[in-house]
Amino acid sequence: MTLEELILNCKNQDVKAQEELYNNFSSILFSVCLKYSPNYHEAEDNLQDAFITIFNRIEQFKGKGSFEGWMKRVTVNTVLQKYRKQRVFNLSNEEQLEEVVIEIEDNTVPLDFLLKIVQELPDRYRLVFTMYVLDDYAHKEISEIVGISVGTSKSNLARARGILKVKVEDYYKINKLK
C-alpha cells in the first residue's frame, strides 16, 4: 500500500491502516518523544498520545509537504502541550546568562550518555535545549510555541548548557579522556 493510500485509509478510520502507519513510523516518532521526555517510560506514553492526536487530526493533512514532517510536528506539539499544562516553563529570573560552549571531542563521549544527561535536565531546560539545539527552532519560535518570553528561552538554554557542560567535564575527569 502506498503512503497516499495509507493516509486515505487512516482518514477513513481503517484500523488496519492505522496499525500499519504506527508500525511504519513509531520508531521515528519515538526518537522525537525521547528527545522531549525526561525518561523512556514517559517517552512511550508521549508516543501513544501523539498517535492518538495524529489519528484524530489526520484529516488536517492536505498532502502539502512531508507527511513524516507533519507527524513530527504533531508529536512535538502534543508533548509540549502536556508540559504546558504542567507549567514547567515558569522561570522568575530571565537575566541574560553568558553563552556556554560545550566542547566534545568526536566519539569520546558515548551517545547514550549524552542522551541520558539531556533527559536528566529539568523539563523547562530540556525542552528549550532540544528545540533550539536539536530541532533548530529560533528563540522567537520557542517562545511562541511554549508560551514563554524570548528572554526565558535564552536563559533556559544557557542554564541547560551549563548543566550539560559540568556533566560532560565530569565524564571526562572520571574517564580521563581529555
Q: How confident is the model at residue 112 (pLDDT cuts 50, 70, 90)?
A: confident
Residue 70's contacts (CB-CB under 8 Å, 6 or more residues apart) are: 61
**Does residue 71 form part of some domain?**
yes
Q: What percent of the chain has pLDDT over 70?
A: 85
Burial 108-132 (b: 16+ CB within 10 A, else e): ebeeeebeebbbebebbbbbbbbbb
Note the pLDDT tens digit of each residue in 72-85. 999 998 988 887 76
pLDDT at 51 over 80: yes
- What's the CATH code of the domain at 164? 1.10.10.10
Residue-level pLDDT at 35: 87
Question: Domain residues for 33?
Answer: 3-86
Q: How confident is the model at residue 22 (pLDDT cuts 50, 70, 90)?
A: very high
Rounded CA-CA distance 59/47 in Å is 19
- CB-based burial label for 20 (10 Å; 0-12, 13-18, 19+): middle
Our count of domains for the chain comes to: 2
Q: Do 77 and 36 share a structural domain?
A: yes
Q: What is the mean pLDDT of residues 157-165?
A: 92
**Does residue 69 form part of some domain?**
yes
**Model pTM?**
0.69
- What's the CATH code of the domain at 22? 1.10.1740.10
CB 124 within 8 A of CB 89: yes
Among 86, 120, 136, the domain boundary falls at 86
**Does residue 147 form part of some domain?**
yes
**Does residue 16 form part of some domain?**
yes
